[in-house]
Structures are given as C-alpha cells and as structure tokens.
Amino acid sequence: MKPLKKLVQSGMLGWPLKVTISKHTGFDWKFYWVGKEYLEPQQIPAELDYDMWLGPAPYKPYNAHRVHQNFRGYWDYDSGGLGDMGQHYIDLYNIY
C-alpha cells in the first residue's frame, strides 16, 4: 500500500480523484451486514433517552438489538459497512 500512497501524494493521478467502492473492487466484507427486520418492541430503559438516540432517523419501536453495539447493522443509524469502517480502508493518508 505504501507505493499507492506515494503515487496519490505525488499528484500524478490529478485531482480530484474518483474512487469506486464496490464488491467488484474488493470492498464487500460489510455490504450485507444488516440488522434484524422484525424486532419485538421492548420497554425503553429509564437511563436511555431513546428519542435523542434516534435523532433524525425514522422512528422504530425500541429493541435492545437496535441500539448499543448492534446499531452498526442498521442503515438508519450507521450507514452500513462503508460508514462504519470503510473510511479506514479507503483513506490512503492513514496507511502506514
């Protein structure tokens, strides 16, 4: 990856760069990481301001699987694999 970083930093490829990310270019490890579709509504824990947690996302009844660590599987809250970890793989300036 260091030669690729060096090539991008040299400016030889021009600017702005166009990068296509897809399963066909090798980034497919989280495209299909999705949350569960049918979750039973649960009681909202007293310590959680669920409306604040939802923010601008569409309202869905509370279920523990939709929040905490599992929220990453729901596009309404995380934007899937690309938004979760993708930037670490496509940002050439973070390559050692």
Record the tokens describing residue 58, joined without a space.
Answer: 């569409």
The residues, ordered by sequence, that sit 6+ positions from 29 with a Cβ below 8 Å of its Cβ are 81
Prediction pTM value: 0.58
pLDDT tens digits, one per residue of 8-62: 788 888 888 777 777 776 666 555 666 788 899 999 999 999 999 999 999 999 9
| pLDDT over 60 at 95, yes or no | no
Kindly report, residue by residue over 5-17, the tens digit of the pLDDT. Answer: 788 788 888 888 7
Q: Provide long-range contacts, Cβ within 8 A and 24+ apart, for 50-56.
A: none
